[in-house]
Structure 1
Amino acid sequence: MLEHVAGGREPMTAMAIAAGLGLDKSTCSRSLAVLVERGWLVRDERTRLFGPGPVLVGLAATAAVSGQLQAILLPTLARLRDATDETVSFHRRVGDRRVCVAGLESRQVIRRVLPIGDSFPLPVGPSGKVILAFVDSAQRETLLAALDPAERSEIRSWINAAIRTGVVSTDGDHIAGVGAASVPVFGREGVFGSLTVAGPLPRWNAVRRTEATGLLLAAARSLSETLGGARLADYERWIGTCAETPATTERVTTP
């Protein structure tokens, strides 16, 4: 059933899935309900169509990370982990979601535990927000339109700050008690993913994150250059001004 839905070009109705697999509708509906509950599939309540869920998307994206990409990512992640002594991760953009596909945990006893394979919508967490800032404007507006007005306004302020500084830096934005700083990484076709350093508060606080911003941006620029990415000139501007412009924190105010 998962293979059938994931292999389809478009989301499917329960009836179409049952017909395609030769199942009776009641059996198919019960199986679909379990898969939705466990995150393997998602169901659009308005259209009643089924598509791949966050668990399936996360596994697919993680499996798609080639040995060549791992070889590119891991040395950079190791340098950042050793320089900051915090957990470092790379999140790959997959459509309107981001998936944690690689990372290295801090060696400290109290640390951010790395969830390889976790998948979240782009508006969730600094790793997604910094990607959202650089996606195609039409797709960004579609994603923002699904949010309530207050949340949409807040995320727009994050986006504006990310475009200006190249970083989203937060206190407990996605997970309470965790500070994080994320920067974009670009590939040949635009924003490819994000690089994130995360750790417990108050240790990985706004001051330490701001001090590490130049290091993060330099690492992201190096990865982007290796991946054939665009916007390399933006990194020069961001790195040149990061010491003068404080990193955006969760206290950002909406203009």
Structure 2
Amino acid sequence: MTVGKLGHVVKPSTLAVEGMHVRSMQRVVAILECVAEAHVPASAARVATGTGLSLSTVSRIMRDLAEDQLLDRLDDGSYLLGARVFRLVRTAREGGDAMATIHRVLADLRDRTGETASLNVRREDVRVCIASVDSRHELRRVVPVGDAIPLVGTATGDVLMAGLPAAEQTALIDRARHADGSRVELLARLREAAAQGWSVQRDGLISGVTGVAVPVRSGERVVAALTLSGPTTRLSPEAVEKCVPDLEDAARRIAPWVREP
């Protein structure tokens, strides 16, 4: 027996299968890299020499990769990188460009307001941070990417829930056991968020922290929430109202770069 991650016991047979999968992936990567580095159509024999794998193994894997459009097989039996590889690269570049733009907008918002700026999306009953730029203050709210907290009773949750059907709002509130306030009070918060276009929560889930959020829209649909958060001592009611126009401007700038879930 071998102890794996998180203390799980892994049987030897399982380890053997996992090892085979790892070796198979390493072979695929090595073959794709060899074809890419050739800069001309590459034969199976050339790739076998370049990777140190047997010709039979390389030929089999290259045929499989061609079927999956990761390689293109020419009439003479040689191979080039396939269309699917280039689609993956294009998608990755587009996603990288989008995230780089989002981070620039968040950094600008942080510099204009002094507080931590984060972009959050809804996942079932929680909000998940997908991008964040921390305040430069020594005392600050840190929102790690991937951080997930309940929707109900938070400024971010208010703007993500405000446009939902009443029945869905009620169901979310009824499932929330942590939230302060009655169903009537929490629904009133959502109506207020919808009416004014933003929401603020002081000393909510985290004592001493205030958050203020605005929706990010695709057309009429709310696809994300843009949030500023920091110590309540700095985010007074006057400071919050002063931040809202900057938040709304940043939300408009980010909107074209946020993909709908």
Give the structure-2-normalised TM-score: 0.57
Q: How does 1:134-145 map to 2 (within 5 A)?
A: 134-145=163-174
> Which is worse superposed, 66-75 or 96-105?
66-75
Which residue type is aligned with residue 129 of structure 1? D
State the AA in 1 paired with 2:201: T
Q: State the secondary structure of the residue aligned to 2:140.
A: coil
Alpha-carbon distance in 2 for matches of 1:131, 1:178: 19
Give 1:186's match in structure 2, choosing from 210, 214, 217: 217
- Pairing partner for 1:83 from 104, 107, 112: 112
Residue 200 of structure 1 aligns with an amino acid whose one-letter code is P
- Map residues 37-52 of structure 1 onto 2, 5 A cutoff: none
Which residue number in structure 2 is paired with residue 202 of structure 1? 233
Matched, 1:169 2:200: yes
Contact 2:153 2:186 in 1 (8 A): no
Q: Is the contact made by 2:152 and 2:176 (CA closer than 8 Å) also made in structure 1?
A: no
Match of 1:214 in 2: 245
Q: Secondary structure at the match of 2:182?
A: helix
- In 2, the alpha carbon distance for the partners of 1:70 and 1:228 equals 11
Kept in 2, the 8 Å contact 1:97–1:121? The answer is yes
- TM-superposed deviation, 1:69: 3.5
Calculate the TM-score normalised by the size of structure 1.
0.58
SS of the equivalent of 1:102 reads strand
- Going from structure 1 to structure 2, the CA distance change for 1:188 and 1:167 (only over 3 Å counts) comes to closer
What are the ranges of 5 or more consecutive residues in structure 2 without an aligned counterpart? 1-93
The separation in 2 between residues aligned to 1:207 and 1:120, in whole angstroms, is 26
Identify if the C-alpha distance between structure 1 residues 190 and 137 changes in structure 2 by more than 3 Å, giving closer, same or farther.
farther
Q: Are the counterparts in 2 of residues 135 and 190 from structure 1 also a CA contact under 8 Å? A: no
Percent identical across equivalent pairs?
32
- Higher RCO structure (Cα 8 Å, ≥6 apart): 1
Mapping of residues 9-24 of structure 1, within 5 Å: none
Corresponding position of 1:131: 160
User: Does the 8 Å CA contact 2:126/2:151 hold for their aligned counterparts?
Assistant: yes
Would you tell me which structure has more helix in proportion to its own residues? 2
Structure 2 counterpart of 1:115: 144
Deviation, 1:140, is: 2.1
Distance 1:147 1:228 in 2: 27
Output the CA distance in 1 between the equivalents of 2:219 and 2:139. 37
1:228 & 1:110 partners in 2: Cα distance?
A: 32
Task: Give the C-alpha shift of residue 72 in structure 1.
Answer: 3.3
Alpha-carbon distance between aligned partners in 2 of 1:96 and 1:167, rounded to the nearest angstrom = 20
Aligned partners of 1:228 and 1:116: how far apart in 2?
17
Q: How many pairs are equivalent?
A: 165
How large is the RMSD of aligned CA atoms in angstroms?
A: 2.5
Check whether the contact 2:122–2:128 (CA below 8 A) recurs between aligned residues. yes
Cα shift readout 1:62-118 (whole Å, capped 9, x = no counterpart) = xxx942441231111011000011111111122332101111111111111223211
- Distance (whole Å) between structure 1 residues aligned to residue 95 and residue 171 of structure 2: 30
**Mapped partners of 2:105, 2:140: distance in 1:** 19
Q: What CA deviation, in whole Å up to 9, does each residue of 1:192-231 have, x standing for no partner?
A: 11011111121122110111111111211222245488xx
Structure with higher Rg: it is 2
User: Is contact 1:126–1:173 with CA below 8 Å preserved after alignment?
Assistant: no
